Structure formats: C-alpha cells, structure tokens
Amino acid sequence: MTGFELICPAGTPAALRAAVDAGADAVYCGFRDETNARNFPGLNFSRDELAEGIRYAHGRGRKVFVAINTYPAAGNAGPWHRAVNDAARLGADAVIMADLGLLDYAARAHPNLRLHLSVQASAANPEAIGLFHEAFGVQRVVLPRVLTVADIKGLTAQAPVEVEVFVFGGLCPMAEGRCSLSSYATGLSPNKQGVCSPASHVRYEPRGDELVSRLGGFTVNVFGADEPAGYPTLCKGRFAARGRASYLFEEPTSLNALALLPELKAAGVHALKIEGRQRGKAYIAAVVSTYRQAIDAFERSGAVPHVDLDAVIEGSRDTAGAYQRSWR
C-alpha cells in the first residue's frame, strides 16, 4: 500500500475549500436534508453548491465523497434515491451509505458509482464486510471507533475492501448506527433524521453559581462557576451514580490517533478520517494542515513528528480511544 489517504470533513462550501487548500486528499460532505447524518441548520450543501465544490476539488486533483448515510423511512425512499442520483450526476467520486436497500438501489441504478460503507452500518467483522462487498460491490468500509488496532489488523487481513478509520475529532463511545440515546431524549434520531443531540432541544439554565445543561427533559451536566460549559450530548454527560458525579460513558475529550500512524500503517489501514462537518473553516484548516504535514513527514522518515493541536482539541484533552484499549 502507498501512503495514507487523508479524508476530511466539510459542512459548508467554505470548509470544503479550506480542506482542499490545507491538503485533504478527499473531502466528505452531505446534502442539506435528512439523507445525511449531520442534518443541522446552517450546514451542508445545495445541489449547486456541491457541483461547484466538486469542480473546485477536481480542479486541484482532489476527490469528493457524498455522505448519504441515514436510513430511509419505510415507504419514503424518494429523497434518498434522489440524493444518490444527484451525487452520481454531479460527479461525486464515491457515496458513503449504510442502508441495505439504498446500497442495492445505488448498485443497480449507478453501477459505475463507487460505494463506501458508512460507519453508521456498524460493520466490524469480516463476515459483515464481505457481505456488503459481495452483494453491492462496496469498495471501502469506515470502521466504528470501538475497535483496537489489533482488531483492525485482523479485519484487514480478511476483508476484501479498503479500510478507513477515524483519527481525529469527536469521539463517539457507542457503536455508530446503533445508538438510541438521542432518539430516547429528543424523539429525533441520528440514524433517520440525521441529528444527534439537536440544538433545538438544548437548554442552559442558571442555578445560583452553577449552570445546568439539559437535552430534552434530561439534565446532562452541572458546571461550576469556573468550568467551561460543554455541549449537552448524553454519551458525554456527567451523572450521579453511587453517590459520585462522573462521566459514565465517555469524558469530553477529542480522539487523536496521530501517534499511532505506524501501528495503523502496519495494520493495513488505507485511509485516515477526520471528524467535524459541524466545525468552521478555521478549525478545518488547522487540523487538516497539521495532519497533512505529519502524514507527509511520517511517509518520508517513518517517524511521527510532534505537533500541537491543543487549541482545537475538545475539552483541551485528547485520547487514543479504543485503539489502545488496555482493559480487555
């Protein structure tokens, strides 16, 4: 395998240009509707904006992947089929999908369109990955963020497709595509409506010297006067259990697997993915350029340079997440 492919997020046309200019090999984005898993106000692309973004990327030798990675509602596949058709028509280099029926539609309607399996499919074993490859011609799988490097190495040895893994950004501690926490709290699903912990259900309430953050009807955290108030996502909430308040699922830290480039290379990983379609262009430019420089230096020398990403790391702390899980 040659060098890593660096896959970077874009929630807006400005972020797409920033990612391309900063050194992304490919940019992933979505349409401005429920067909993608980051369906938030102010984000995503109209058809005309995507067409222009693809022209910008292709003019600089880069690729654009379109995420159509939510699950169509029963009897209402039309918006998802239109998204696949439009991505193909506009010249997308690949579509990223999870739903079996939608993959079947894309494979039949657009046999030359490259298919990537979204992390939302939660495919984490050779049998599942092999099924998607044999049935629909999927050429790449994005792995869930719950696998160790050893798990990934075992998969790449058997999987007949390219493997893409997340290396930076928000750390989801759940198996993507199977989490129902946000649906339970708000009635809106990241897997159907494309929204996890939607801003429309977020509340911040002063309580004396404290600030309470709530999602739907649930208190997610209570911040002291000197604490920065994080966004109320249930899996990163601080809850009282056995008389002590703590982060039960995952602390609000950022995934950063930069130091693991040698291990990921040895494990057979093809592409490295940065999370953050909801982030601004300044964040995108900073993270992408830093990862680009680090990957290029690693490819030249085999050593990972020390870089400073503290300014853009969530909670000012980072973690290698499950990649280096030691408790198993």
Q: How many domains does the chain have?
A: 2
Q: What is the pLDDT of residue 1?
A: 45
Classify residue 181: in a domain, yes or no: no
The token duo for 228 is 């920065």
Range of 279's domain? Answer: 5-171+253-324
The token duo for 51 is 């067409």
Q: What is the pLDDT of residue 219?
A: 86
The pTM (predicted TM-score) of the whole model is 0.86
User: Torsion angle, CA of 36/38/41/43, rounded to 10 degrees?
Assistant: -90
Same-domain check for residues 161 and 201: no
Same-domain check for residues 133 and 230: no
Same-domain check for residues 243 and 259: no
pLDDT along the chain (328 residues), means of 10: 87 97 98 89 94 98 97 92 98 97 98 96 93 97 90 93 91 68 74 72 88 87 82 78 76 79 96 90 92 94 84 63 61
- From the number of C-beta atoms within 10 Å of its C-beta (0-12, 13-18, 19+), residue 191 rates as buried
Asked whether 296 and 232 are in contact (CB, 8 A), the reply is: no
First to last CA, the chain: 30
Amino acid letter for position 307: V
Question: Last residue of a domain, which of 225, 247, 269?
Answer: 247
Same-domain check for residues 194 and 315: no
Same-domain check for residues 300 and 257: yes
How far, in Å, CA of 188 to CA of 140, rounded?
29
Looking at residue 69, which CATH number applies to its domain? Answer: 3.20.20.70
Residue whose structure tokens are 């067409």:
51
Query: Does an H or E element contain 179, and which?
Result: none
Asked whether 264 and 165 are in contact (CB, 8 A), the reply is: yes
Question: Last residue of a domain, which of 212, 228, 247?
Answer: 247
Same-domain check for residues 243 and 263: no
108 contact partners, CB below 8 Å, separation of at least 6: none
Q: How many CA atoms lie within 13 A of 208 on its CB side?
A: 4
Same-domain check for residues 167 and 206: no
Classify residue 179: in a domain, yes or no: no
Same-domain check for residues 261 and 150: yes
Classify residue 184: in a domain, yes or no: no
Q: What is the pLDDT of residue 312?
A: 64
Q: What is the pLDDT of residue 146?
A: 82
Angle at 316 between CA 313 and CA 322, to 5 degrees: 65
How far, in Å, CA of 158 to CA of 171, rounded?
26
Q: What is the pLDDT of residue 193?
A: 65
The token duo for 299 is 């490819």
Q: What is the pLDDT of residue 326?
A: 53
Residue whose structure tokens are 């972020």:
15
Same-domain check for residues 232 and 262: no
Classify residue 185: in a domain, yes or no: no
Q: What is the pLDDT of residue 327?
A: 46
Angle at 112 between CA 50 and CA 16, to 5 degrees: 20
Same-domain check for residues 210 and 86: no
Question: Last residue of a domain, which of 230, 247, 264?
Answer: 247
How far, in Å, CA of 213 to CA of 237, rounded?
9
Same-domain check for residues 99 and 207: no
Same-domain check for residues 229 and 160: no
Q: What is the pLDDT of residue 27?
A: 98
Residue 117, CA distances (Å) to 69, 128, 200, 316 in order: 9, 11, 30, 31
Classify residue 195: in a domain, yes or no: yes
